[in-house]
């Protein structure tokens, strides 16, 4: 049953004050529409909050020569906490569709370059949405290294026969090192990738910190049997960093496991969850989508970028849900899941509350999260979830209806508890 949209406008209850600003990054398409609804009915009526607003919508990025994206990332550096709506990463089709000046870089890539750090993704577990993998009982969090490898590669389309070489010239005038990559007999492709010790080490440390914070085991998988230098380097750094904190990990009962990446994939399918799976950049990109759909829907996957300096950007793991947006533009009703976007807001608010020492703000965020989960468990959910819920749900909520239902429950809960 959908409750009427009720605001207790005459209520004398004072909104909760958020002490320090949160950097808000607006985005594109269907998620931009959801974003505004969430802000208008779930956030602003309940909080007095200073939002530093940056419009990362693709048209505004284009108008500012994409400066708005680095400005937003620098604002996160300044204020410590950001919340981001999904954004279009332009490809050739998008350049045409939005009449863009050029194929601007991925905003998330730009933000990650400014802040560095690791992206952690965690599914939201709801009782009546059973995971596709029977053994999964607890969340599987994924820690994705957010720097380098193919995401910072140099690529070249080889036109014909010739020699591809890998050359390193030391800055201090030492001897050059050079290796033949391949003697081409005909056309082909080559790619040069890199990573830095600093970034890999901070990735390992961030993962250990996350595992310690959540008191969960830490898994890491790579392919050091094949890549005896590049992948092996990651393994060595993890071994060193875990070794340095061994006593603490032992005391907390946190186990570290290194596996070959293919073994890790097989083990994950048999595990019950409740671990952090540290992944190299590409593995994290791919595996987080697999884990997200395994837990039910992309709409239930949250994501946070944690920088080595302790700056945070929260977002939903999914994209701008383009297909739904086009339906929306045609005037058709949509049923887009807003849960991960709501949890982006609550993640940022809870963190803000912790950093500011304002438990009331953190409590508000946790209360909103509990209400969202409870609403789905009561059978009110969007179409993506209704299709897989157990017991079956016959009627799904539309995009707006779901958010209004949460808003009504949140207001009622507040009035009952007189918070």
Q: Identify any residues that bridge with 305 across adjacent strands, giving them in sequence order.
A: 119, 313
Helix 399-417 / helix 359-377 crossing angle, nearest 10 deg? 130
Give the angle subtended at the CA of 360 by the CAs of 358 and 364, to the nearest 5°. Answer: 130
The one among 46, 61, 318, 400 contacting ligand NAP by CB under 6 A = 318
The one among 71, 217, 239, 289 contacting Mg ion by CB under 5 A = 289
The one among 285, 327, 377, 401 contacting Mg ion by CB under 5 A = 285
Rounded-to-integer distance, Cα 255 and Cα 215, Å: 10
> Quick check: helix, strand or coil at residue 148?
coil
Q: Is the dihedral of CA 321, 345, 383, 45 positive or negative?
A: negative
- Residue 344 contacts residue 302 (beta carbons within 8 Å): yes
Assess 323 for contact with ligand NAP (CB under 6 A): yes
Write the binding mask 365 to 394 for ligand NAP: x where contact by CB under 6 A, - elsewhere: -------------------x----------
Least separation in angstroms between CB 293 and ligand NAP: 8
200 binds, among ligand NAP, Mg ion, none (CB under 5 to 8 A by kind): none
Restricted to residues 84-103, the positions that interact with ligand NAP (CB under 6 A) are 86-89
- Residue 129 contacts residue 389 (beta carbons within 8 Å): yes
Assess 236 for contact with Mg ion (CB under 5 A): no
Rounded-to-integer distance, Cα 101 and Cα 94, Å: 11
119 binds, among ligand NAP, Mg ion, none (CB under 5 to 8 A by kind): none
CA distances from 30 to 84, 122, 326, 343 (A): 14, 22, 8, 17
Nearest-CA neighbor of 120 among 253, 268, 312, 368? 312
196-204, 279-287, 321-329, 354-362 -> range binding ligand NAP (CB under 6 A): 321-329
- Residue 231 contacts residue 185 (beta carbons within 8 Å): no
Strands (E), 250-320: 256-260, 275-279, 301-306, 312-316
Alpha-carbon torsion angle 13, 23, 349, 409, nearest 10: 50
289 binds, among ligand NAP, Mg ion, none (CB under 5 to 8 A by kind): Mg ion
Between 86 and 218, CB nearer to ligand NAP: 86
Q: What is the DSSP string of 2-53?
A: PPP----TT--PPPEEPSS-EEEEE--HHHHHHHHHHIIIIITTTEE--EEE
Least separation in angstroms between CB 23 and ligand NAP: 15
Write the binding mask 326 to 365 for ligand NAP: x where contact by CB under 6 A, - elsewhere: ----------xx----------------------------
Write the binding mask 170 to 199 for Mg ion: x where contact by CB under 5 A, - elsewhere: ------------------------------
Assess 214 for contact with Mg ion (CB under 5 A): no
Please tell me what DSSP assigns to residue 105: P
Structure tokens at 388: 């897989």
What's the distance, CA 207 to chain centroid?
15
287 binds, among Mg ion, ligand NAP, none (CB under 5 to 8 A by kind): none
Restricted to residues 209-228, the positions that interact with ligand NAP (CB under 6 A) are none
Between 158 and 388, CB nearer to ligand NAP: 388
Assess 320 for contact with ligand NAP (CB under 6 A): yes
Assess 322 for contact with ligand NAP (CB under 6 A): yes
Between 55 and 283, CB nearer to Mg ion: 283
Assess 59 for contact with ligand NAP (CB under 6 A): no
298 binds, among ligand NAP, Mg ion, none (CB under 5 to 8 A by kind): ligand NAP
Least separation in angstroms between CB 298 and Mg ion: 10
Assess 299 for contact with ligand NAP (CB under 6 A): yes
Rounded-to-integer distance, Cα 339 and Cα 342, Å: 5
Pairing between β-strand 154-158 and β-strand 188-192 as defined by DSSP bridges: antiparallel
- Residue 313 contacts residue 82 (beta carbons within 8 Å): yes
323 binds, among Mg ion, ligand NAP, none (CB under 5 to 8 A by kind): ligand NAP
Rounded-to-integer distance, Cα 221 and Cα 354, Å: 32
Q: Which residues bind ligand NAP (CB under 6 A)?
A: 86-89, 108, 298-299, 315, 318-323, 336-337, 384
Q: Which residues bind Mg ion (CB under 5 A)?
A: 285, 289
């Amino acid at each position: 049953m959908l409750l009427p949209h009720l605001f207790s406008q005459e209520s004398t209850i004072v909104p909760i004050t958020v002490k320090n600003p949160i950097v808000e990054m607006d985005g594109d398409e269907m998620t931009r529409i959801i974003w505004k609804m969430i802000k208008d009915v779930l956030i602003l009526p309940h909080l007095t909050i200073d939002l530093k607003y940056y419009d990362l919508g693709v048209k505004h990025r284009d108008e500012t020569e994409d400066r708005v994206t680095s400005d937003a990332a620098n604002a996160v550096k300044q204020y410590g906490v950001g919340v981001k709506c999904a954004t279009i990463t332009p490809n050739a089709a998008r350049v045409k569709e939005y009449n863009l000046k050029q194929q601007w870089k991925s905003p998330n890539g730009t933000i990650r370059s400014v802040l560095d750090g690791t992206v952690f993704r965690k599914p939201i577990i709801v009782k009546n949405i059973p995971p596709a993998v029977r053994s999964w009982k607890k969340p599987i969090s994924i820690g994705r290294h957010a720097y380098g490898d193919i995401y910072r590669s140099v690529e070249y389309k080889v036109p014909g026969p010739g020699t591809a070489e890998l050359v390193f010239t030391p800055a201090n005038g030492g001897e050059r090192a050079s290796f033949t990559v391949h003697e081409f007999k005909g056309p082909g492709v080559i790619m040069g990738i890199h990573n830095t010790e600093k970034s890999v080490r901070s990735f390992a440390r961030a993962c250990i910190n996350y595992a310690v914070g959540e008191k969960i085991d830490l898994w890491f998988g790579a392919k050091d049997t094949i890549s005896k230098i590049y992948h092996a380097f990651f393994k060595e750094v993890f071994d060193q960093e875990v070794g340095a904190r061994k006593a603490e990990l032992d005391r907390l009962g946190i186990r570290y496991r290194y596996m070959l990446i293919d073994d890790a994939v097989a083990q994950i399918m048999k595990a019950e969850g409740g671990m952090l799976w540290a992944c190299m950049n590409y593995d994290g990109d791919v595996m987080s989508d697999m884990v997200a759909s395994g837990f039910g829907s992309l709409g239930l996957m949250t994501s946070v970028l944690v920088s080595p300096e302790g700056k945070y950007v929260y977002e939903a793991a999914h994209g701008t849900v383009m297909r739904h947006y086009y339906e929306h533009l045609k005037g058709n009703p949509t049923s887009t899941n807003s849960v991960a976007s709501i949890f982006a807001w609550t993640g940022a608010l809870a963190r803000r509350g912790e950093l500011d020492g304002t438990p009331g703000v953190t409590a508000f965020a946790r209360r909103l999260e509990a209400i969202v989960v409870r609403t789905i468990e009561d059978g009110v959910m969007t179409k993506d979830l209704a299709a897989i819920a157990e017991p079956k749900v016959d009627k799904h909520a539309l995009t707006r209806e779901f958010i209004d239902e949460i808003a009504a429950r949140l207001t009622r809960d507040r009035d009952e508890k007189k918070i």
